[in-house]
Amino acid sequence: MTLSLVVLVDADLADGTVISNIAIVNSPTDPETPKESDPDETPVDNNRRAMLMLEKSAPMTVIAGNNLTYTFTLSNQGTAPARNIRVSDMLPAEVNFVSADMGGMLEGGEVVWNVAELLPGAAVTLTLEVMVPANVAMGTVISNMAQAASPDDMDSPVNSNGVDVTVETLANLAIMKRSDTPVAIAGENLAYTITVTNNGPSDAQEVVVTDPIPVGTSFVSADMGGMLENGIVTWNVGTIPAGETVTLSLVVLVDANLADGTIISNIAR
């Protein structure tokens, strides 16, 4: 004889719960009864699961020396709450940590957020601010990907989309020139001091300063490797870091026969 039994599983029974059941048979004509069946164990699978999704965005470009903001959107696309969520983002080598909202903390080169719970259909936005150092080269691509994990998401950890940000550079150079004396004397040396300041935000690369020898004078010397060619002194300065100043010196000889009141005019570039 075959018998069947149908039961209704409680709606709030948690995923993974095992329903165990044993049948018992009894008959007065069988002295060995009652007898038990083997236990039947059925796990509960209610298809209610958390499903995390992590999206990451950032500007396409950043200027070296400026800050860069990453934005993360963490959502639960599943049918059950996601709890004890850990969002992590390993900082790229080309950036320095500045700040993170929603309690994000820097832990050994990795920024970590702990989100207590995310209900089905809910989302939360996280932001991370980093600084791109002024000396990062133009054209450098900063690549980055974040990750989210929860014990309620069987497929976690899940990765975000990858984000690539291209570094651009922008320097603001200021140049000043002054002579060591307001009045030059014919037949004597006249010294000029040239200061070049990089107001940033990026390092200034391949800086070259040129200074034509003033009319009525002749070249004597230039420091910092300045070279005279075709009446123009050239300094190949190279890199001037953001916020730094380079000082150059040029000495010329004033012609001995230069008339009183002659104005010696000079501009460096």
CATH of the domain at 128: 2.60.40.740
How high is the pLDDT of residue 41?
A: 78
> What one-character DSSP code corresponds to residue 223?
S
Determine, yes or no, domain membership for 99. Answer: yes
> Which tokens go with 256?
């001995």
114-136 pLDDT, tens digit each: 999 999 999 999 999 999 999 99
Which SS3 state, helix, strand or coil, does residue 46 take? coil
6 confidence band (pLDDT: 50, 70, 90): confident
**Of 49, 57, 59, the residue nearest 83 (C-alpha):** 49
Q: Are residues 59 and 115 in the same domain?
A: yes
Q: Are residues 195 and 144 in the same domain?
A: no
| Boundary residue ending a domain (130, 148, 168) | 168
64-81 pLDDT, tens digit each: 999 999 999 999 999 999
Q: Are residues 60 and 160 in the same domain?
A: yes
Q: Are residues 229 and 184 in the same domain?
A: yes
Determine, yes or no, domain membership for 112. Answer: yes
Domain range for residue 183?
Answer: 173-254
pTM over 0.95: no
How high is the pLDDT of residue 26?
A: 79
> Which residues, other chains included, contact 142 with Cβ-Cβ below 8 Å and sequence gap of 6+?
62, 68, 92, 94, 95, 132, 164, 165, 166, 167
Res. 48: pLDDT tops 80: no
Q: How many domains does the chain have?
A: 2
153-211 pLDDT, tens digit each: 989 999 999 999 999 999 999 999 999 988 888 999 999 999 999 999 999 999 999 99
Q: Are residues 149 and 215 in the same domain?
A: no
The secondary structure of the chain in percent helix, strand, coil, rounded to multiples of 5, reads: 0, 50, 50
Res. 46: pLDDT tops 70: no
H/E run at residue 112: strand 110-118
How high is the pLDDT of residue 28?
A: 74
Determine, yes or no, domain membership for 90. Answer: yes
CATH of the domain at 233: 2.60.40.290
Q: Are residues 162 and 177 in the same domain?
A: no
> What gap in Å lies between CA 27 and CA 10, rounded to an integer?
33
Determine, yes or no, domain membership for 33. Answer: no
36 confidence band (pLDDT: 50, 70, 90): low
